[in-house]
Amino acid sequence: MTIRFDGQVAIVTGAGGGLGREHALALAARGAKVVVNDLGAARDGSGGSATAAEAVVAEIEAAGGEAMANAASVTDAAAVEAMVAEVMARWGRIDILVNNAGILRDKSFAKMELADFQLVMDVHLMGAVHCTKAVWEIMRTQNYGRIVMTTSSSGLFGNFGQANYGAAKMALVGLMQTLAIEGAKNDIRVNALAPTAHTRMTEDLQGLPLEALGPELVTPGLLYLVSRDAPTRAILAAGAGGFERAYVTLTQGDFAVGPDAPEQVAARFDAISDRENEIVPEMGAAQGMIELTKAQKHHGA
């Protein structure tokens, strides 16, 4: 099976360099018309220029593809809506959205200014919300859509100095989980990609073999997540040619009631944490069902 995107239109945010550029080039090479969105800001989100997006468009066109540049900030909902309207006027549909735009404002939480926390949340989380909201009704009407949120191991598992980034990246997983449920009846599949790649976002990290972490090695996973046969609600980790799945799971747990319930929880915490027979819930209500089952069993119902 060859993955192709002929006749499809894709929007890739943060596509002026790094991962976004690789995603845009690969989508175009496989037949998609691509919107290269990039504010052209510095790594910390300051400044802005359309030059980066225009350069990627030139690359796509030189290779025989079709693309358009857009320098809207994903934090500006009106500008995002205007971008989407322009795409619809030009190409009449939007099949794929890759929420890739991001910035870094790394500091330990003790030293972090709240403004830096807020800005990172605005770009990563609200930027994805703005873009997704702008295309959602279009995809519902088409009965087709593929959306990817760019999450991170910093969100899934934590990383020192990235409380803001990690909070935003894990929030995107929660957004993905619910949108995948809501979009299912209209064949809108929503997934998350957790990349490890050498880009300007990771150039200061120590201990990584950066020469083995080319962003182009992540993009094959992205292409699958936005393909016609894509899964939905998948968290795919990718880097250096390796691909893994991450899951949010729920243990079977234990039961504790009564005046000494806190002490019971403490005494049974290993049992509560036992991962045997853990599940990947279909939706949040699974937690309540497991808990009610234990309560009914306790009361002999």
Q: Give me the active site residues, please.
A: 165
In degrees and rounded to multiples of 5, residue 199 shows phi and psi of -135, -175
Task: Give dist(CA 260, CA 266) in Å, integer.
Answer: 10
Say if CB 165 and CB 120 are below 8 A apart: yes
CA distances from 216 to 183, 212, 221 (A): 29, 11, 10
- Cα torsion 164, 15, 40, 95: sign: negative
Identify which of 57, 61, 88, 58 has the alpha carbon closest to the alpha carbon of residue 70.
57
3-class state of residue 37 by DSSP: strand
Give the 3-state DSSP-derived string for 240-298, with helices as H, strands as E and coil as C: CCEEEEECCCECCCCCCCCCCHHHHHHHCHHHHHCCCCCECCCCCHHHHHHHHHHHHHH
